[in-house]
Amino acid sequence: MTTAKSDTISTRIGKTLAERIISGAIEAGSRLRQDHVAEEFGASHVPVREAFRLLESQGLVVSEPRRGVRVAGFTREEVREVAEMRASLEALALRNAFPHMTKTILDQAEEANRAGDRARDVYAWEEANRNFHRIILTPCGMPRLLKAIDDLQTASARFLFSGWRAEWEAPTDRDHRAILDALRTGQADLAASVLARHVQTVGRKGPK
């Protein structure tokens, strides 16, 4: 989506590579060679290495000391792990966001939800879905928590795009509505528990 020129070369390289990994353009297990990447971006390998470190911190690549980095793979177990972490942290964020929730915010979330309904491919749907979650969680005002959730959502998107799920099915959107209803009627705990369960459904459908 927004490639955004985040000043430094290494972050630009990092973001571009992240997109490719998430979308599946670079497949799991493949090696990323710094010279090749550097040449492609018309840069030297120093910023490339830093980009690799960024990707490593997001869990998108794994780095072995003198053997370079390769795109992280993911097993059924890892998918479940990410889903459980998301469930736990998003529920926490939502409970903390609740006191700061306004009608305006809920309306924005509703609109994001509708955008999801209109989505014609999985990429558009994922963007709308992520927006929905971001909108209702951001008011918690906990930057570290939001960053952690964002990284986990990125990982989830990888699984989604990897084709493990051919359909991105309607039930999820129904969950969204249930969450909004709970928030509108002041039931914070209910909203949080629906959200927690909802997030875990992403990890449900198994691969292979």
Name the site residues for DNA (rule: CB under 7 A): 8-10, 31-36, 38, 42-47, 49-50, 63, 65-69
Q: Identify the residue among 5, 8, 25, 76 touching a second copy (CB under 8 A).
A: 8
How far is 165 from 198, CA to CA, in rounded Å?
16
What string of DSSP letters covers 27-80? -TT-EE-HHHHHHHTTS-HHHHHHHHHHHHHTTSEEEETTTEEEE----HHHHH
Q: Identify the residue among 28, 43, 54, 119 touching a second copy (CB under 8 A).
A: 54
* Strand partners for 68: 64
Q: Which is nearer to DNA, 44 or 75 (CB)?
A: 44
Instruction: Give φ, ψ of 63 to 5 degrees.
Output: -120, 125
Q: Which does 101 bind (CB under 5 to 8 A by kind): a second copy, DNA, none?
A: none
CA 163 to chain centre: 16
Binding of a second copy at residue 150 (CB under 8 A)?
no
Alpha helices in 58-142 (DSSP H): 76-97, 103-118, 122-137
Q: Which is nearer to a second copy, 105 or 142 (CB)?
A: 142
Binding of a second copy at residue 128 (CB under 8 A)?
no
CA 83 to chain centre: 11
Binding of a second copy at residue 200 (CB under 8 A)?
no
Q: What is the contact surface with a second copy in residues (CB under 8 A)? A: 7-8, 46, 49-50, 53-54, 56-57, 59, 65-66, 77-78, 81-82, 84-85, 88-89, 91-92, 96, 141-145, 148
